[in-house]
Structure 1
Amino acid sequence: MQHFVFATSIIYCTLLTQTAELQAKPVPTNPTNPTFKKPTPKKVANIGQIQFIRPILPPGNAPGGRRTGGGRRDSCPDVNPKLTALVPVTEAADSVTNVWSLTSAEHPTFWFYLPYTKSSKYPTEFILQDSDGESIHQTEISLPEKPGIISVSIPNSATPLVIGQQYRWFLKVYCSQQKKSLPIYVEGVINRVNLSAIATQQLRIATPQQQITIYAKNGMWFQALTTLGELRRKNPQDATLQATWNNLLAEINLIEIAEKPLISNKP
């Protein structure tokens, strides 16, 4: 009898131990698959880690262009960094550098680093041409008090960019007040396209910070940079926006420009 009670106690204790172990194990998330394991949640990328997805260069003649000013024939003083357009470049198979980007905006904004200042009195102009070479917008640019990054917006009064059309832009600096010498300049091409329906819907409900990511993922360089640049102007001490700015310009190999001051558009 004592042996029976002892054996029964052992069995009872074993059952209690197994029950406790089963209760300690997590219940499978998927009842139809008992071996299913819930994936480890991925960390959400910081906005400073934004990624720009480069669009594919369209077929046809290479747009060419130049992102950095300089050359043997201009009369401008040698500076470093040089006059620079804040745009991506695409290296073609034939080693041609193409300065080309997309926008979905009717009146986009362009960004440049200007190493020359107001005291130089160098005449400076921005020109936007259609595919026939006709100027649709031309304006004189006031040089800043100190070297820095400026923006040039196409005004709403100007002819809007047409979807599917290609336009060529120039920023020219004449290093003689009478424009007698050849200018130092940058140039490139901008294409206006439609955003996808999904991206358009996402933008409607997105915060400005989220809009930067949406534009960048859809290859809309000008709008991504403009949205971020305007946020930085409003919040110059925001370290997160500065980190995002640095990251976005590093995506197109312009990290040396990222730390340059952002010049206000206010006179």
Structure 2
Amino acid sequence: MKQFSGMRKLPLTITGLATGSLIYLLLASHQPSWGHVAPDSLGHDPGQRLAQASRRRNYVPPARSTAPRRATSLGTRGGLCESSSTANQEPILPSARFSVMTVAPQTHIGQTASTRPTLTWYIAEDNPYPVELQLYRYTSSDPTDSQLERVEFFDVGLSQPGWMTFTLPTSLPPLNVGETYRWKVIVKCSESQPSRNKIDEADLQVVPSPPGMGTTGEPVQQAEQYGAAGLWYDAIAALSHTPVSPAAAACRNELVGDLAELAAQEAKDPNDVFSLLSDRLRYIANSD
């Protein structure tokens, strides 16, 4: 797992953003329905799904969670950059073949109490490619307004298979409490053909920090506190700082499994965007 903090910034001339997606889901008018249970692409029946949902979750979505302002991306321009050893292996879930995936909520906006949060994503490419992280801010507090303005772009080096993280550097002004941001991870498959690049993205909201939250205890204990408080980004970050212990890795996989269950509860049929999201998250949760 590769971790970055405060890497060099890219010049301001970078263009070619991809705000679209091959898979669009209009979530602005869709509120999460945590109680909905439908069969998933693995053929789990409702009774089994209810049993899964009844277990204690390490991550509990915020009580007033809202849908992301933009379409669920699930990896714009999906698939792998090119044929590789990963492509020749049968993944745990056939629909889980992807290049990059942000490890963040997509059924609602994930929250953080950090003004310089750690962002986490998963790479399914075996071959190394340049990775760029882009950070934007929503210009309005109106949850129906999806207009973005650039905050900063970062070159985070070459990709490596598995977990990768990036902590916003101290050279960047702290994010503003109460505001919502959009972050994108771009795997540059071809510098000369940007249309081949693989992209995934997610929203995050900065909220006030609960008193004493996460200041003591081991990473797993901190993550449990953050997860119970609905602070997804802080929970996953506590478990992703290297070296990652076996206990932290197990807890991290459980957190990702929680996201998979939440996505499955939103699925209306085995082939919709939430079923695909759930499959990919399960793939990541079983990857260690």
TM-score class normalised by the smaller sequence: 0.5 to 0.7
- Say whether residues 1:66 and 2:66 are aligned partners: no
Structure 2: which amino acid aligns with 1:86?
Answer: V
Alignment size in residue pairs: 194
TM-score for the superposition, normalised by structure 2:
0.59
Q: Who is 2:124 aligned against? A: 115
Relative to structure 1, is the Cα distance of residues 207 and 186 closer, same or farther in structure 2, using a 3 angstrom cutoff?
same
Assess if the C-alpha contact under 8 Å between 1:175 and 1:183 holds in 2. yes
Relative to structure 1, is the Cα distance of residues 88 and 202 closer, same or farther in structure 2, using a 3 angstrom cutoff?
closer
TM-fit CA distance, 1:205: 4.2
- Distance in 1 between residues matched to 2:80 and 2:257, nearest whole Å: 30
Query: SS of the counterpart of 2:115?
Result: coil
Query: Mean Cα displacement is larger for which, 180-189 or 208-217?
Result: 180-189
Query: SS of the counterpart of 1:142?
Result: strand
TM-fit CA distance, 1:220: 0.5
Given candidates 34, 52, 77, the residue that maps to 2:82 is 77
Q: Who is 2:152 aligned against? A: 137
Larger Rg: 1
Query: SS of the counterpart of 1:203?
Result: coil
Percent identity over paired residues? 23
Query: SS of the counterpart of 2:239?
Result: helix
- Distance in 1 between residues matched to 2:186 and 2:227, nearest whole Å: 28
Given candidates 226, 231, 255, the residue that maps to 1:215 is 226
Assess if the C-alpha contact under 8 Å between 2:176 and 2:206 holds in 1. yes
Assess if the C-alpha contact under 8 Å between 1:127 and 1:137 holds in 2. yes
- Distance in 2 between residues matched to 1:117 and 1:206, nearest whole Å: 35
Query: SS of the counterpart of 1:191?
Result: strand
- Distance in 2 between residues matched to 1:87 and 1:107, nearest whole Å: 16
Relative to structure 1, is the Cα distance of residues 81 and 149 closer, same or farther in structure 2, using a 3 angstrom cutoff?
farther
Given candidates 248, 252, 266, the residue that maps to 1:245 is 252
- Distance in 2 between residues matched to 1:207 and 1:213, nearest whole Å: 10
Structure 1: which amino acid aligns with 2:283?
Answer: E
Assess if the C-alpha contact under 8 Å between 2:68 and 2:106 holds in 1. no
Relative to structure 1, is the Cα distance of residues 128 and 213 closer, same or farther in structure 2, using a 3 angstrom cutoff?
same
Q: Cα RMSD between the aligned structures?
A: 2.8
Greater percentage in helix:
1
Assess if the C-alpha contact under 8 Å between 2:182 and 2:203 holds in 1. yes
- Distance in 1 between residues matched to 2:282 and 2:177, nearest whole Å: 31
- Say whether residues 1:53 and 2:64 are aligned partners: no
Given candidates 151, 157, 177, the residue that maps to 1:163 is 177
- Distance in 2 between residues matched to 1:129 and 1:245, nearest whole Å: 26
Q: Which runs of 4+ in 1 moved over 6 A?
A: none
- Distance in 2 between residues matched to 1:212 and 1:55, nearest whole Å: 15
Please, which runs of 5 or more residues in structure 1 have no aligned partner? 1-48, 91-97, 262-267
TM-fit CA distance, 1:140: 1.5
Query: Mean Cα displacement is larger for which, 176-185 or 148-157?
Result: 176-185
Q: Who is 2:53 aligned against? A: none
- Distance in 1 between residues matched to 2:237 and 2:74, nearest whole Å: 20
TM-score for the superposition, normalised by structure 1:
0.63
Structure 1: which amino acid aligns with 2:250?
Answer: A
Assess if the C-alpha contact under 8 Å between 1:65 and 1:189 holds in 2. no
- Distance in 2 between residues matched to 1:257 and 1:164, nearest whole Å: 30
Please, which runs of 5 or more residues in structure 2 have no aligned partner? 1-55, 88-95, 140-147, 261-280
- Distance in 1 between residues matched to 2:80 and 2:181, nearest whole Å: 28
